[in-house]
Structure 1
Amino acid sequence: MKAIPARLDHLVLASPDLAATVADFARRTGVTPAPGGVHLGLGTRNYLVSLGGTGYLEIIGPDPEQPTPTGPRPFSVDALSTARTVTWAISPPDLDAAVATARARGYDPGDIHPMTRRRPDGTLLEWRLTDGDTQHPSGLVPFLIDWGSALHPSASGLPVTPLLSLSGTAPDPDEIRALLATLDTELPLGEGPVGLSFTVDTPRGPVTFV
């Protein structure tokens, strides 16, 4: 099994304190994440780091410059006490077809929703992704994303920490493997509490985040 899943789009490192997590990443790796932008109305913003190729790391947390949103912030950042790798995303060649195929195979990755983010230069990015209550709650099964005609974040001159490996643990790894198969992807899995971890190559050597 490959250490890096096929069609990996990005990893999500969520934090209750975005500034502190970005500073910690820079301290540990020697690479400073780049500002990504603001998720208007959702109360979050992000910072980005390329993982090499077309993959990237999203560090996301509450945006102190936005009013408190009416609903929960994405990726349950309000419920976190520390930064944690909460999930990952893949980018299939045809998002709608991938959702239909997964459902036919017995797993519903969720409905497809439009999303937007305002980059620091004012550019509005628009994309589509799967989201909903039918997604597996562990975060080990990726959500699906389609950037359409938008400039992919990995193509925006981000600082780079090449991804060396991504893996997870679950009480029942076989359950997760079966769901991953419905999406035509895979993830190295061991038995244990639910969790994701990844290792990146940096100027200070390999660094692992959980």
Structure 2
Amino acid sequence: MNAVPPFLDHLVLATPDLAATVADFTRRTGVTPAPGGVHLGLGTRNHLVGLGGRSYLEILGPDPEQPEPAGPRPFGVDRLTGPRTLTWAISPPDLDTAITTARARGYDPGPVRPMSRRTPDGTELRWRLTDGDSGHPSGLVPFLIDWGDSPHPTASDLPVTPLLEMTATAPDPEQLSGALSALNTGLPLTPGPPALSFTVDTPNGPVTFG
């Protein structure tokens, strides 16, 4: 199986303290993540690092400049006690066809909803994504994303730490293989508690994040 999953769009490294996690990433890798933008109304913002090609890392955390959101912040950020690689996204060639195909194969990626964020230069990016299947809440099965007419985040000249490997542990790896196959992607899985990790190449050598 490939060390980098097919159609990988981005990884989500979520944190309760965005500034501290960005500083830690910079210290460990020698690469400073670029400000990505704010998710207005959701109480979060992000920093981004390219992973090579059209893949990137999203470091996401609470935005202290926004008021408390009406509901929980995305990805369960409010419940985190430290940084953690929570989930990942794939960008198939055609989102709607990929959803239809996955459902025909017995896996439902969940409903599609629109999202947006405003970049530091004021540009509004809009995309569609699936909420994911509640049957796999661990984050090991990716959600799907379609950037539509918006420029992809990797088109903004991000700093890059090439992705070397992405792996995961799961209590029952075979249970997840059907969903991954239905999405035409894959992920190296070994038995263990639910966890996602990745290794990037950096000026300081390979660095792994979990």
Same fold (TM over 0.5): yes
After the TM superposition, which parts of structure 1 deviate over 6 Å for at least 4 consecutive aligned residues? none
What amino acid does structure 2 have at the position aligned with 1:12?
Answer: V
Partner residue, 1:106: 106
Deviation (angstroms), 1:81: 0.2
CA contact (8 A) 1:54 1:154 kept: yes
Task: Give the whole-Å Cα distance in 2 for the aligned partners of 1:70 and 1:187.
Answer: 35
Q: Residues 132 and 144 of structure 1: is their aligned pair in 2 closer, same or farther, counting only changes over 3 Å?
A: closer
CA contact (8 A) 2:116 2:126 kept: yes
Partner residue, 1:44: 44
What amino acid does structure 2 have at the position aligned with 1:161?
Answer: T
Task: Give the whole-Å Cα distance in 1 for the aligned partners of 2:187 and 2:132.
Answer: 22
Q: Residues 152 and 135 of structure 1: is their aligned pair in 2 closer, same or farther, counting only changes over 3 Å?
A: farther
Tell me the secondary structure at the aligned position of residue 52 of structure 2: coil
Task: Give the whole-Å Cα distance in 1 for the aligned partners of 2:100 and 2:133.
Answer: 17
Tell me the secondary structure at the aligned position of residue 114 of structure 1: strand
CA contact (8 A) 1:108 1:134 kept: no
Deviation (angstroms), 1:105: 1.3
% of aligned pairs identical? 73
Deviation (angstroms), 1:133: 5.5
What amino acid does structure 2 have at the position aligned with 1:80?
Answer: L
Partner residue, 1:195: 195
Trace 1:85-104 onto structure 2 (pairs within 5 A).
85-104=85-104
What amino acid does structure 2 have at the position aligned with 1:37?
Answer: G
RMSD: 0.8
1:94-146 deviations in Å (ceiling 9; x for gaps): 10111111111111111110000000000000000001563620100000000
Tell me the secondary structure at the aligned position of residue 144 of structure 2: strand
Task: Give the whole-Å Cα distance in 2 for the aligned partners of 1:131 and 1:185.
Answer: 17
Task: Give the whole-Å Cα distance in 1 for the aligned partners of 2:132 and 2:177.
Answer: 20
Task: Give the whole-Å Cα distance in 2 for the aligned partners of 1:172 and 1:76.
Answer: 23
More deviation in 134-143 or 40-49?
134-143
CA contact (8 A) 1:109 1:135 kept: no
CA contact (8 A) 1:110 1:135 kept: no
Tell me the secondary structure at the aligned position of residue 76 of structure 2: helix
Tell me the secondary structure at the aligned position of residue 48 of structure 1: strand
What amino acid does structure 2 have at the position aligned with 1:185?
Answer: T
Structure 1 gap ranges (5+)? none
Structure 2 gap ranges (5+)? none
Partner residue, 1:80: 80
1:39-95 deviations in Å (ceiling 9; x for gaps): 000000000000011100000000000000011100100000010000000001110
CA contact (8 A) 1:119 1:125 kept: yes
Tell me the secondary structure at the aligned position of residue 100 of structure 2: helix
